[in-house]
Chains A and B, each alone.
Chain A
Amino acid sequence: MKATKSILVVLFVLLMAQIASAYYCPSTGRWLSRDPLGEQGFQVMQVPQIPNPIQQQAVRWIERDPATLQQTANPYAFLGNKPIRQTDLLGMVGSVPVSLMEAIASGDVAQVEAILAGLSEDDAGYALAKAWLQKVAACDALHAAYDALKCVSCKACTTKEQAGKNALCLSTEIALRQAFINKKCDYCLAGSINGPGGSAKAAAGHEAQVAQLTVQLLFCTKQIGVLPSATPPSSP
């Protein structure tokens, strides 16, 4: 019995490839022991993504984050104190002025423009501010475009052509509104961010409009097949 157990242990060990100082099980594709480098290895991998100087051996910052030192007395400030609304996966935003992050978080175009005017192209935050302003302008343009359409339903349509025209208007409006939603415009326009319920509720309201317009588009599409044509077919 004891011999059988020993053989099984030996077989188990033989089944695994020993790579470096950790055991790797080929059948499950998993390491059986932790990487001896541990978290230190993980942090060393992060170094090239972080602009601040770092001591490779000790894996510690050798200076405090300049963004927090310059902009606020709070060294723990993160994303303008809005960690729920904002994300910073690569840790790159820390070097962007906190005032810029706050202006973006509240959708304050004038403030972002004012901060941008004081930045040079090499400054951290310059590209972000510029990209954000472009996005706001694009969202504004989309909003103005679907506001200008003034589509109506097919209730009063008497011909195929009228129904077709309304269906075209509705499908254009739906496409523009969908682009507005997909671009997450409610998360950058001040009116949506600062309204009751915030961006999420504003976006849900816009989605409700799309649903309503889709119902009307389907009705128009149906009417195209039912209503007579304005120009009767010419006789042979």
Chain B
Amino acid sequence: MTNQDAVLIEKLWNRLVGKNFIPAEFVKQIRWHGGHDMKNLSEESVLQLFEGRFLGDWHEPAFSFSELLAFYSVPDKNRRKEEIVGWVFASFVIADAVRHGATDWEMQFNLFLNGFLEVRGELDMYEATSIFERVFRGG
């Protein structure tokens, strides 16, 4: 995660959720969405991932955030706006986990794409292309 990624997530949060973006609160939301699948990643670890300073074993984020992508890919008429921002963050983490060799796109692509199909109505074209560029070209 780079500063540019954080800026994109913050802008998206402000637009969709309509609240001030506080990283610690965002991390809590992410862990809440992940539920039991996030139990091996502490709030501090998720914050480190958000701030691009995670130095631990990437297999754990790869597992937890893959589960999160699967969770966001579930059709939901009552989807919260926070979940759309969560999907963007989860996609960035998975892209980083692929770069660290902890997983590969063959295992994640369908989950990523199905999640995108679920949230695309809430993203404008610039946001959608920025996300795809970041995920597949690197951050």
Contacts and interface: CB of A to CB of B under 8 A. Distances in A.
Do chains A and B interact in one complex? yes
B13 to A, nearest CB: 16
Interface stretch (A12-20, A79-87, A209-217): A209-217
Interface stretch (B44-52, B99-107, B128-136): B99-107
Contacts, number: 79
Interface stretch (B4-12, B16-24, B29-37, B119-127): B29-37
Interface in A146-201: 147, 150-156, 186, 189-192, 194-197, 201
Given A205-B73, A208-B73, A191 B106 contact: no
A196 B106 contact: no
Given A155-B104, A202-B71, A191 B39 contact: yes
B32 A196 contact: yes
Nearest to B35: A191
Contacts of B2: none
Interface residues of B, number: 30
B107 A152 contact: yes
Main secondary structure of the interface of B (DSSP, over half): helix
Contacts of B110: 211-212, 215
B36 A143 contact: yes
B91 interface: no
Given A153-B107, A219-B106, A212 B70 contact: yes
Central interface residue in B70, B83, B111, by most chain A CB within 10 Å:
B70
A147 B40 contact: yes
B80 interface: yes
B15 interface: no
Given A153-B104, A190-B35, A208-B74, 15 more contacts: A155-B104, A191-B34, A191-B35, A191-B38, A192-B36, A194-B35, A195-B32, A195-B34, A197-B74, A197-B78, A205-B71, A206-B70, A209-B111, A212-B70, A215-B110
Interface of B: 32-40, 59, 63, 66-67, 70-74, 76, 78, 80, 83, 102-104, 106-107, 110-111, 114
15 contacts: A151-B107, A152-B104, A156-B104, A190-B35, A201-B71, A202-B36, A205-B74, A206-B70, A208-B73, A209-B66, A209-B70, A209-B111, A215-B110, A216-B106, A216-B107
